[in-house]
Amino acid sequence: MGTLPYAWSGTDAQGNTRTGAGSVATSSATLFGRQFATGTVGPLPAAPVLTARIYFQPGDFTGAAQPTWTNQTLITQAVNAGATSFLFSMKDATAAAMTKWRAFLRSIPAAYRDDTWCVWMHEHEAKIRQGSLTFAAYDAGSDMVRTATQAEGFKFGPLHNGLNRNAADTAWIFGNYVEPTNLALCDFEALDCYDDNGKGAASLFFSSSGWWPYFRDVGKPILIGEYGTPTGPNQATLAAGMKAECLARPQIKRVHYWDQMFTNNPDYRMTAATAATWYA
């Protein structure tokens, strides 16, 4: 474990000026792993999957059941695959949900607590743009979950659309990142990003027009919740390029491949060559 200091200021998409400073204890190594999910997913590799991204579905913390570390199939699968780091995403933000969320966090074994990262309502920019979520609701929910999460001794941060649609919904653009009011109290920044057209991470994500300059300058540790590029002959080369770019930037701590296919979406499942590169 080490300490990463941060100090930053900027204006978010809501026109609010944000400033913050502090430090976050975090391990120095960049880890590469995958999304653990049900459905049409790629096979687990023989190599250890050191970091796991796991979604809790809406209602998981408002229903009758109490999620715990030991009763979640995907957590067990990730532990058995060798995961030592976890990025959890959840979407419930009520007083009753916080009781269950805190109970879940307390069930996490001590060996995993320092490398567990938590987010609420990932990719909120798209939901705000589409009108299914207001900024006020996002901001209030984020602060509620952050307060509960940090009270249990865990890290919390927002998870952004690393790529956003433009106003006409015709092309992907960077920017317009919507930050919670209390970003200065968050422990990290996170984002999802995909390379659907095979442009390569260096020119797409890490150029002056990509997402890297913004998140670098915020100054907090960075996690990538989802990365993927479609299955094909160039996938392994593109994934290797993404891995190299992330390794060159110690501020990026955890990177998760979206090894899955959804109907009407590209098939991001890893080829054998991609998996060999990603988990090496």
- In Å, what is the CA distance from 176 to each residue of 49, 162, 166, 189, 207? 32, 10, 10, 15, 17
Contacts of 157 (CB under 8 A, 6+ apart): 117, 118, 119, 186, 187, 188, 189, 190, 220, 223
Q: Which of 264 and 13 is assigned the larger pLDDT?
A: 264
Please give the residue that has the higher pLDDT: either 172 or 227: 227
What is the pLDDT averaged over residues 75-80? 98
The predicted-structure confidence for 203-215, as pLDDT tens digits, reads as follows 999 988 889 999 9
The model's pLDDT over 265-278, given as tens digits with 9 standing for 90+, comes to 889 999 999 999 99
- pLDDT score recorded for residue 209: 83
> Pairing relation of β-strands 252-257 and 222-228?
parallel
Tens of pLDDT, residue by residue over 34-63, are 999 999 999 999 999 999 999 999 999 999
Does residue 4 have a pLDDT over 80? no
Distant-in-sequence, close-in-space partners of 26: CB < 8 Å, separation ≥ 6: 1, 2, 3, 4, 188, 221, 253
Q: Minimal CA–CA distance to 256: which of 279, 231, 233, 238?
A: 279
User: What distance in Å separates the CA atoms of residue 126 and residue 163, rounded to the nearest whole number?
Assistant: 10
**Gap between the Cα atoms of 18 and 79, Å rounded:** 37
pTM score: 0.90
Question: How far apart (Å, rounded) are the C-alpha atoms in residues 242 and 122?
Answer: 21
Could you report the per-residue pLDDT of 104-140, keeping only the tens digit for each?
999 999 999 999 999 999 999 989 988 999 999 999 9
